[in-house]
Amino acid sequence: MKPAPFDYVRPESLVEACELLAGDEDARLIAGGQTLVPMLAMRLARPAKLIDIMRLPELAGIAAEEGAVVVGATTRQAQAERNSTIKASVPMLARVLPWVGHPPTRNRGTIGGSIANADPSAEIPLVAVTLGADILLATASGPVSVPANDFFIGPMETSIGHGDCVRAIRFPVWPHQRVGVGFFEISARRSDFAFVAAAAQVALDEEGRCVEVALGVGGAADRPLRLDVSSLIGTRLDTGVVTGAVQAAAGNFEAMSDLHASSAYRRRVAVTLCTRALEEARGNAAAIASEDAR
Amino acid sequence: MKVDLQINGVSRSAEVEPRKTLLDTLRENFRLNGAHAGCEHGVCGACTVLLDGEPVRSCLMLAVQADGYEITTIEGIAPAPGELSVIQDAFCETHGLQCGYCTSGMILAAHALLRRTITPSREDIVEAISANICRCTGYGQIIEAVQFAADRLRKANTPRPHHTAHHGGEHDSPVEGVLEAAEADEPAVEAK
């Protein structure tokens, strides 16, 4: 057996899970286990106790709310990928899910697990930051909501306190008729960690002018970044305008450098992918209206 | 800890340490050695099994997490002892395996795909086996095997038009060998 020994408990309720977690410094939560189990196998993680939250009813389910879709933490990535509410209302999440791992890891891996793991190159945290989602936590003092931008603070590092558990993620839904998304990613091979990923969502009015825009870049910095391209609102997102806005927003953020890619490369690719993502998003939004007109 | 598993349709129980993976439990406690231990940290796919019909990596799951689930291993997909499933047979016919180490995982991944659809596109097949590494074949013959199996399943499952039955069933046997049949992307019944 490769992992070091540990105790395993499967609590009956979220409250019990949080109590167990708070009461033991060396305890860790496990849901899908697609990151934690390899860490255990390589003994990079040696928890004394694993608390299995996968079957807790409080963490399951996908619910449409006023202006948002709330995705339970233990929703498996494959479930979310096939879910019609997510496809219709959070198209950016639906768009990136095929890029998260492989089909067998998506069958076990969870949405909340990817959020809590906070890998800087992960696609689900990128969507959360780009759209301005809220991370809903269960804590000893009750439910807490943290904006995604404040939740991720560094590579595999979040602002979550010991004893707290990610309960759900609240993804905002845009009210506009014509919403399109775009997503591009560069990695060594399909489904490997992204060196750079860019996600964009735009809403167009009847005349094809941009009324709302969100742009984010992942893999390039120590956490996913939302870029300010609000100057694009009111424009027709012509190529020159988009390129200019992206250059201004993504031209000089603090990019990571490692043996795969230098920071200069990451910045250069980020600008290119952000531009492509915005153009794809504009194209998809524009296509919605032409379908309606038919 | 005691775990109860439904393995290949049979209820089985085992006493395991919490740190024991589902893979090790299948191999050591139940002597089901068809799930292979490759990388043992979720990269290679040799340990693929079906959990409630969906492919998962048995090395990335603790046996205690699998408690109560239905598990299908490669040993559970043949219709009878000594026989091969349509997919297994297709892998033999198109030479979709060489050393065989990845094969059980590949076949289970294909099995899950073809249960969802018997008209997969080439991209669907590539995506379905994308998590499984093969160091022998270069994947071409594996993709062919899955296409061939899909073709056979389509022919087996769909009622044939009368005139083809009268004329000796043109669609039943490939005219120029198996590869011809494997290239058929559309269901045979759609031919006029």
Q: Are residues B105 and B63 in the same domain?
A: no
Q: Are residues B151 and B174 in the same domain?
A: yes
Task: Write out pLDDT tens, residues A116-152.
Answer: 999 999 999 999 999 999 999 999 889 999 999 999 9
Residue A228 Cα to chain centre, angstroms: 18
Does residue B66 lie within any of the structural domains? Answer: yes
Q: Are residues B123 and B57 in the same domain?
A: no
The residue assigned the tokens 């496990």 is A30
β partners of residue A134 = A147, A170
Q: Are residues B134 and B180 in the same domain?
A: yes
Span B32-48, mean pLDDT? Answer: 96
Spatial distance between the Cα atoms of A32 and A76, rounded to a whole number of angstroms:
8
In 3-state terms, chain B is what percent helix, strand and coil (to 5)? 40, 15, 45
Residue B192 pLDDT > 70, yes or no? no
Spatial distance between the Cα atoms of A185 and A191, rounded to a whole number of angstroms:
10
Asked whether B1 and B19 are in contact (CB, 8 A), the reply is no
Range of the domain at B38: 2-76
User: How much is the pLDDT for B174?
Assistant: 43
With contacts defined as CB-CB under 8 Å, which chain A residues touch B19? Answer: 1, 3-6, 40
Does residue B81 lie within any of the structural domains? Answer: no
CATH code where residue B125 lies: 1.10.150.120
Q: What is the pTM of this model?
A: 0.90
Q: What residue ranges define each of the domains in chain A, with the CATH number in brackets? A: 7-52 (3.30.43.10), 57-172 (3.30.465.10), 178-289 (3.30.390.50)
Q: First-to-last CA distance in chain B?
A: 60
User: How much is the pLDDT for B190?
Assistant: 42
Q: Are residues B92 and B64 in the same domain?
A: no
A287 in reach of chain B (CB within 8 A): no
Burial string for A272-282 (b: 16+ CB within 10 Å, else e) reads: bbbbbbbbbbb
Q: How many domains does the structure of chain B reveal?
A: 2
Q: Are residues B126 and B41 in the same domain?
A: no
Residue B192's nearest CA partner among B167, B163, B166 is B163
* Nearest-by-Cβ selection for A105 from B17, B24, B42: B42
User: How much is the pLDDT for A17?
Assistant: 96
Which residue in chain B has the smallest CA separation from A79? B54
Task: Write out pLDDT tens, residues B73-102.
Answer: 999 999 998 999 999 999 999 999 999 999
Q: Are residues B185 and B111 in the same domain?
A: yes
Q: Are residues B63 and B90 in the same domain?
A: no
User: How much is the pLDDT for B165?
Assistant: 40
With contacts defined as CB-CB under 8 Å, which chain A residues touch B45? Answer: 102, 104
Residue B168 in 3-state DSSP?
coil
| pLDDT string in tens for chain A (294-residue length) | 689 999 999 999 999 999 999 999 999 999 999 999 999 999 999 999 999 999 999 999 999 999 999 999 999 999 999 999 999 999 999 999 999 999 999 999 999 999 999 999 999 999 999 999 999 999 988 999 999 999 999 999 999 999 999 999 999 999 999 999 999 999 988 778 999 999 999 999 999 999 999 999 999 999 999 999 999 999 999 999 999 999 999 877 889 999 999 999 999 999 999 999 999 999 999 998 655 555
Q: Are residues B169 and B102 in the same domain?
A: yes
CATH code where residue B41 lies: 3.10.20.30
Which residue in chain A has the smallest CA separation from B41? A38
Task: Write out pLDDT tens, residues A229-243.
Answer: 999 999 999 999 999
Q: Are the Cβ atoms of B127 and A103 closer than 8 angstroms?
A: yes
Q: B136 CA to chain A: closest CA distance, Å?
A: 19
Q: Are residues B50 and B107 in the same domain?
A: no
Backbone angles phi, psi at A72, to 5 degrees: -60, 145
User: How much is the pLDDT for B162?
Assistant: 45
Span B13-23, mean pLDDT? Answer: 97
B102 in reach of chain A (CB within 8 A): no
A51 in reach of chain B (CB within 8 A): no
User: How much is the pLDDT for A292?
Assistant: 55
Span B64-75, mean pLDDT? Answer: 97
| Banded pLDDT at B164 (limits 50, 70, 90) | very low
* Nearest-by-Cβ selection for A41 from B40, B45, B127: B40
Q: Are the Cβ atoms of A3 and B19 closer than 8 angstroms?
A: yes
Residue B48 pLDDT > 90, yes or no? yes
Which residue in chain A has the smallest CA separation from B113? A103
Residue B21's nearest CA partner among B48, B44, B49, B40 is B40
Spatial distance between the Cα atoms of A25 and A36, rounded to a whole number of angstroms:
17
Residue B172 pLDDT > 60, yes or no? no
| Banded pLDDT at B183 (limits 50, 70, 90) | very low
- Best B2, B16, B19, B116 member to test A by mutation, with max A CBs in 10 Å, is B19
User: How much is the pLDDT for A111?
Assistant: 98
* Other beta carbons within 10 Å of B168: 8
Of the three residues B20, B42, B76, the one that is the final residue of a domain is: B76
Q: Are the Cβ atoms of A34 and B60 closer than 8 angstroms?
A: yes
For chain B, the average pLDDT equals 86
Asked whether A89 and A173 are in contact (CB, 8 A), the reply is yes
